[in-house]
Amino acid sequence: MMAVLSLSVQVRWYDGACFAIVGAATLASLWVLFLSLKKNKINRDVDVDVTAGVRVAASASASAYRLCHTTASASASAWRGVHPGVLLVFRLGAAAVLTGVLGWDLFIYDPSIFLYYTEIGLGWAASLGPNKMASAWWLRWQTALCLVITVSPAIVAIILLCRQGKRQRQRQSPQKPLWAPCFRWVPPLVLPVYRGLAAVLLSCVLYGMLLHRGLLQFYFYTQWTFLLVILYFLIGAFISAHGLWVYSRQTTHQDVQQANGFLTICINDHLHNQTPLLTLPTNTGGNLQDGSAGTWGYCMQIIYQTCGGAVMLTDVVFWCLLVPFMSSAHFKVNLIMGCMHSLNLLFLLVDTFLNSMPFPWFGMTYFILWSCTYVIFQWILHACGFSWWPYPFLELATPWAPLWYFCMALVHIPCYGIYWLIVKAKNTHFPKLFPHSYVGMC
């Protein structure tokens, strides 16, 4: 364990150049793909103008022709004398042969062959000698069952996300819950200041851990979640500052309008013996214009819902499982570890008690995908040759691995449920405890 933690990563200047080239190529490819999708979407749009009926029919006919032409090009041969069934049989046969060759490679070597872009490097891998012990537990039925336990929730979460995305496009999420406090007496300036300070303090704790242990601390799920919490506070600080700026502009505009109409209101009050209707803007959620959350707003909500379950999971596993049963000479709780497994939940709970953001059960899908990503990351590292597992319940070489994976999958439900109950209790009891100051979700 200590040998793995003592490793250092050496980065040269030309490594940065290589990273820049790969990153630039990736961004350029995504940009070209985005332009292509946008162009196809424009071509698929049908003009609904009644006065252009002929043009609408022509556009629809052209779209149908393009669809049929594309489908026929994918299934038909370029030669007139070749039946389309020949192309189908050839493709199925090629898929079967290539699958057999790939299975043969997996049987002789191990899943680490997927590290190669092609099979050219297999000769070099064979010269090192196949790792029989690694192949043994990679090809066991317990490992396959662990794979099913991990991938199945991820697939279900992706399906639910696709369905939710269709509903989300029909309605827009408001922006005000991202930056407005849930109490009338709390100024909007409090949230951006608090989130900024929380991001700075948590970054200092993470920097102290990395300075003491190195970059390999990101081998652990705790550091992943801790970095995600910092990212939430950073995005939240910027969105809160932007919301405060919009709030101040609208408040100033309302004050000017009220000052211009003050004389008229006083005259009407004197003539009709009514009370003035002048009121100061408050955090009631209805007297300021509000826009949609936007891309960064949706990202902030996703990260917030992911952090709610992830911080509960890390802290519960650390204080209830690792500390009582794994305390030894190689694992002792120090000040930095204690801060990392307590401050993340503490700062997030304070933010929850102040903000107006919802915390639905659907957010558990993001939490599941986050944990599945970490588990797959661990599997890739061990396929590359790592032999030490950061958590004993992730080890695949034990016969009880499927049971451990199943238990950890079930633990996600109460971890997310506890945080959901905290938000539910806040929205239920705070209106009774603070009836005149609590606004609730905007």
Residue of 179, 181, 165 whose CA lies nearest to 244 = 179
Residues 158, 163, 167, CA angle at the centre, nearest 5°? Answer: 140
Q: Across all residues in the chain, what is the average pLDDT?
A: 75
Res 247: pLDDT: 76
Do 226 and 366 have their domain in common?
yes
Asked if residue 438 is part of any domain, the answer here is no
3-state secondary structure of 272: helix
Query: 133 with 153, same domain?
Result: no
pLDDT reading at 263 higher than 50: no
Give the model's confidence band at 233: pLDDT under 50 very low, under 70 low, under 90 confident, else very high. Answer: very high
Q: What is the pLDDT of residue 60?
A: 46
96-101 long-range CB contacts below 8 Å, 24 or more apart?
Answer: none
Inside any domain, residue 384: yes
What mean pLDDT comes out for the span 384-390? 83
Together in a domain, 195 and 127: no
Break the chain down into helix, strand, coil percent, rounded to 5. 75, 0, 25
* Overall pTM > 0.85: no
Residue that finishes a domain, picked among 87, 119, 139: 139
Checking if the pLDDT of 378 tops 80, the result is yes
Tens digits of per-residue pLDDT, 283-321? Answer: 444 444 455 667 888 899 999 999 999 999 999 988 888
Are residue 190 and residue 134 in the same domain, yes or no?
A: no
Neighbours of 66 (CB within 10 A): 13
Higher pLDDT, 34 or 58: 34
pLDDT for residue 397 = 82
Q: 77 near 86, Cβ under 8 Å? A: yes
For the residues 144-160, what does the mean pLDDT come to? 92
Let me know whether 120 and 216 are in one domain: no
Q: At residue 98, does pLDDT exceed 50? A: yes
How confident is residue 138, by pLDDT bands cut at 50, 70 and 90?
low
Based on the fold, state whether residues 254 and 126 are members of the same structural domain: no
* 265 and 337 inside one domain: yes
Which token pair is 207? 């920097």
Evaluate whether residue 173 is within a structural domain: yes
**What token pair was written down for 275?**
């009370």
Q: Say yes or no: 182 and 116 in one domain.
A: no
pLDDT band per the 50, 70, 90 thresholds, residue 111: low
Residue 101 in domain: no
Specify if 378 maps to a domain: yes
Residues 240 and 124 occupy one common structural domain? no
- Residue ending a domain, among 94, 117, 139, is 139
Range of 281's domain?
Answer: 148-433
Residues 130 and 152 in one domain: no
**Structural domain includes residue 171:** yes
Long-range contacts of 104-109 (CB under 8 A, 24+ apart): 106/139, 107/139, 109/135
In a domain, 59, yes or no: no
The answer to whether residue 27 is domain-embedded is no
Average pLDDT over residues 27-32: 78
β-partners of residue 292 are 174
Same domain, yes or no, for 122 and 236? no
Residues 208, 253, single domain; the answer is yes
Give the range with max mean pLDDT: 175-189, 392-406, 418-432.
Answer: 418-432
Counted domains in the chain: 2
Mean pLDDT comparison of 57-66, 326-335, 387-396, highest-scoring range: 387-396
What amino acid is encoded at 372 in this protein?
A: C
